[in-house]
Amino acid sequence: MTAKVIRVVIADDEPLIRAGIRMILTSAPDIEVVAEAANGREALELARAHAPDVVLLDIQMPVMDGLTALGELGRAAPEVRALILTTFGEKENVLRALGSGGAGFLLKDSAPGELIGAVRAAAAGDAYLSPGATRHVVDQLATGQGAARGERARRRVAELSERERGVLALLGEGLSNADAGRRLHMSEATVKTYVSRILSKLDCENRVQAALLARDAGL
């Protein structure tokens, strides 16, 4: 049986960056780059025209930035999964991205294998947040939390089982499902089940929000 090919649109205003991403992705037999965009508006038009599985969106682009395009894409083509490419240059951009419904965050200096893995995870319906991206966001946003914020986080976390709190603590460290599984002597699939349950119980949209909550709660 032939594996389904993942169709991808790349959106970045730097041609060399797009060329590098294309080269990495097309080295994988199950990924096809169907189009490239130089700004968010082009990304939306190409997503409508090509119906890709995944769109890679740079945050900083002319005409329409990646975060605006992400919101528009969610309304126009909710079945398309979007991965945010970023260097985390501005705290405000990260805060906006966390609430915009992306399928994950990927640092531009990530390893080629991580980029391929992120695209595959997004296409499969999973949220992908690289350990490096998670740690960076948590470290950047978790400062100055205050006693009230910490108390709210502890009340929310108290609803979890002991095992769920253990998994959440590892999310706070930025561990992947595989790494968390090795730490807890659990299979990656079991960790993934726990993560889904934790996100649902805590009403978190993604792993980064859960990791921030873990830090706020002092896990």
Q: What is the CATH number of the domain that holds 100?
A: 3.40.50.2300
Q: Give me Rg for the CA atoms of the chain.
A: 17
d(CA 87, CA 62): 16
Count: domains in the chain: 2
Same domain assignment for residues 88 and 168: no
Per-residue pLDDT tens, the chain, 219 aa: give them. Answer: 456 899 999 999 999 999 999 999 999 999 999 999 999 999 999 999 999 999 999 988 999 988 889 888 878 787 888 888 877 555 556 556 656 666 777 878 888 988 998 898 888 876 676 665 555 555 555 555 555 667 787 888 888 899 998 898 888 877 778 888 889 999 988 988 998 898 888 888 777 778 778 877 877
Q: Are strands 31-37 and 81-86 parallel, antiparallel or unpaired?
A: unpaired
Residue 119: name the closest of 219, 211, 34 by CA.
34
What are phi and psi for residue 178, nearest 5 degrees?
-65, -45
In three-state secondary structure terms, 30 is coil
Provide the token pair at 187.
Answer: 């299979």
| CATH number, domain containing residue 188 | 1.10.10.10
d(CA 111, CA 78): 28
Tell me, yes or no, whether 37 lies in a domain.
yes
- Quote the pLDDT of residue 138: 55
Tell me, yes or no, whether 1 lies in a domain.
no
Same domain assignment for residues 107 and 169: no
